[in-house]
Amino acid sequence: MSTVPTQSRRVSQRQPLACRECTKSKRKCSKTIPCTRCSRLRLSCSREIVQLQRSAARHGAEVDFLDSLVGDLNLLLESTSATAKLELPQIISKVRNRIFRLQTGLETSLDPQPPVPEPPLPPGPNEAQYHAEPVEPASSSLVTAIEHLAWGRDSAGCFPHLKCGCQYSRPVVSRANPRSSQRSFDLGLDASIAEKLIRFHLCHMAWHHDCIHAPTFLEQCEKFWRTGEMDHALWMALYLSVLGATVFAMRISSRAKAAVNIDLDMMPPADQFLTAMLEALYAGHFLEDMSIYALQAIVISTEVAHNLGRSQLNATLFKAAVRIAEYLGVHRIREARGASLDTEEAWIETVQREVGKRVWCQMLIQDHFAIPFTNTYSISPSQYSTGSPLNADDYDLTDMPQTVPTVSSYVRALRKIADLMPSLIDGLGSMGQPKPLREQYAHVLLLDKRMRSVVKGFPRFLLQPDAEKELEIPWLGIARRSLAITAAEKIIMIHRPFLFLSFHSSSYQHTRRTCVAAALTILREHETIINEGDFFVWTHSAFCITAAIILCFEVSVASKDSTGGPETDKFRLAILAARNRLADQKSDILAQRGVTLIDAIFASEGNLDLDFYRAVADVLRFGQTTQGNSSSNSSSSTTTTTTTLPMLPDITEPYRSPGNTATPDSQSTFDPHPDNMDFETWFNHIFYHLNSSAT
């Protein structure tokens, strides 16, 4: 079969009949193979196979896709197991024959076929190693890829789709779309104001999601402001998502307001940007015309969606984003080893590949951190191969040691924590058959230890203050505090399966002490951020609510047991202070719901007669009153529950396997992990390096 690459085959209106030698020598040919002249001169005789012009027009896209598929298969052939190598050459041969037929109109190649290797003899009785060798399902994935042609799908293992022929292929040159097609999403925002907001976001907020290559996005924005043209219809959704997150953050943070000279009263509320983003997604047919821009828009919208009371919408969009990412192949981006960035095409491909890795990394984080609320995860650790983004700054994308702070440093750290979370829920057993309590709790303590070990390995600039570095990097200080809050909350997340039970059983006192100490840490860091007017991150409100609720439980149980004292009074003051800070965030619906929930639970102190779930009903009523309101009017006043509300429900065990009738107190008391260090001591040692001489 001909092995001439598709791109190098000459295009002609018909297949030549004269042989190569006669054509080259400009001699008359008998037009037989071998021809009379070549036979007489004992020359090698063959005809040139050309690509028919009509075939190139009719089948160009399919040929390009099949050609890219052959390239992928050849790469797979070089790295796959011995068993799969027996089948792959035959499949490659079939695909090449199809390409040959589409290009030339001929049924079979004139070149001889390569011999198919014979299968080896079955292993002897002593060849146990053969049976232990893992067999990669290469042919299975290939069959799926070919079958997708009939379904109108592509397997899309070729992100960023600059050189492939699949349906998601896009050339290096941008496809411009007129502004008129997107005029309904304008929101009356002046270009000069939009530029200030975008530049603020790239400088002070992009580190938290790391889903943008700042120079590329800014260049796209400048082109849009200047000409009204966009790289893709769905780019508008990304643009609106970034603006919405920025506008909301500026309303919360006094430091952000001071950094940008904008009259926020004249700005559309953040909720309108989120609604416009959703309209742009649907106008761009994001579920069919799949694009990385849709993924970026959805993932970045998480920065504000929960605070605007749109958590269900965000969760639904995220589930769709996971499937879109899989179709685009974002979950299996290949590393470009030794690639040179000397050409513009190579640079663009590197940028898009890195953006894909950044988006996938953020999707992993959001998916795995949502496990406690869904008891499941959408992205299985064994079903993706995309690695972490480079520890690189945007201007050169040069991978740096992790000790060097870059725009990706924070997200890379969060991913290491997120990678632990699937094993947390898997180690508890299935929903239908959970493991016994003793095994579950041993697993929780093990994850606690692993979590602390991961955090201990983070670079120093993310753990301890460095005034000099924080002057150079504007976001470094708030990133360090955000990581401290997140690390404390993830410790609570690990212990969450036994959190309520720990307030009722002495067997789980380590969980109770750990979670209370972590809650105090979160509230302390949150208070510092608010007092300094530092830049807003949506998780600050969410985790502050979690911490305050845990302290409410601690105070309620202490009041019930009559064990309250100075420590309980300190908890009450911390709860009240957190409640007031949340209440001051008038445009944050999540914060206002947190205030309602804190009031409902805290009001139940010492009351053993009422139903706990009335607290939930109060929060649901508050949610109904705020649903659909814009962020500017979401909570002019704070809802406060005056009715006396209940204590914690009498939970006896979180996960009991069938046949396990042991009560919690009959389980053995677990000691903390071998470090034997309580949370507050560990936290201060890691994040502030406090020692006995510290004051």
Chain segment 408-460, per-residue pLDDT in tens:
999 999 999 999 999 999 999 988 889 999 999 999 999 999 999 999 999 99
Q: Which residues pair with 230 in a beta bridge?
A: 177
Q: Alpha carbon of 534 to those of 117, 476, 528, 530, 671: distances in Å?
A: 67, 11, 9, 6, 39
CA nearest neighbour of 211 among 270, 284, 298? 298
Give the integer Cα–Cα distance in Å for 168 and 652. Answer: 53
Contact 383, 332 (CB under 8 A): no
DSSP characters for 122-165? PP-TT-HHHHHS----HHHHHHHHHHHHHHT-----STT-SS--
| Structure tokens that stand for 683 in this block | 């936290």
Give the integer Cα–Cα distance in Å for 528 and 534. Answer: 9
- Coil/strand/helix, residue 177: strand
| Structure tokens that stand for 643 in this block | 């009715």
Give the integer Cα–Cα distance in Å for 353 and 216. Answer: 13
Q: Which residues of the chain have pLDDT under 50?
A: 1-4, 6, 109-119, 121-122, 124-139, 173-184, 606-613, 616, 619-620, 627-676, 690-695
Give pLDDT, residue 657.
Answer: 33
| Structure tokens that stand for 53 in this block | 């012009």
CA nearest neighbour of 442 among 377, 512, 497? 497
Helix 292-305 crosses helix 270-283 at what angle (to 10 degrees)?
160
Phi, psi values for residue 533, rounded to 5°: 65, 30
Give pLDDT, residue 144.
Answer: 57
Q: Give the length of the chain.
A: 695
* Number of neighbouring beta carbons within 10 Å of residue 5: 10
Q: What is the largest CA-CA distance in the chain?
A: 113
| Structure tokens that stand for 676 in this block | 């034997």
My answer on whether omega of the bond before 160 falls inside 30° of 0, hence cis, is yes
Q: Which residues pair with 429 in a beta bridge?
A: 434
Give the integer Cα–Cα distance in Å for 530 and 591. Answer: 13
Q: Is 433 left (phi over 0), alpha (psi -120 to 50) or beta?
A: beta
* Residue type present at position 351: V
Give pLDDT, residue 175.
Answer: 45
| Structure tokens that stand for 618 in this block | 């109060």
Q: Alpha carbon of 523 to those of 386, 485, 549, 629, 694: distances in Å?
A: 36, 8, 11, 28, 22
CA nearest neighbour of 22 among 35, 11, 4? 35
- Coil/strand/helix, residue 230: strand
Give pLDDT, residue 566.
Answer: 82
Contact 331, 360 (CB under 8 A): yes
Give the integer Cα–Cα distance in Å for 611 and 244. Answer: 39
Give pLDDT, residue 241.
Answer: 96
Give the integer Cα–Cα distance in Å for 637 and 617. Answer: 19
CA nearest neighbour of 537 among 193, 255, 139, 293? 255
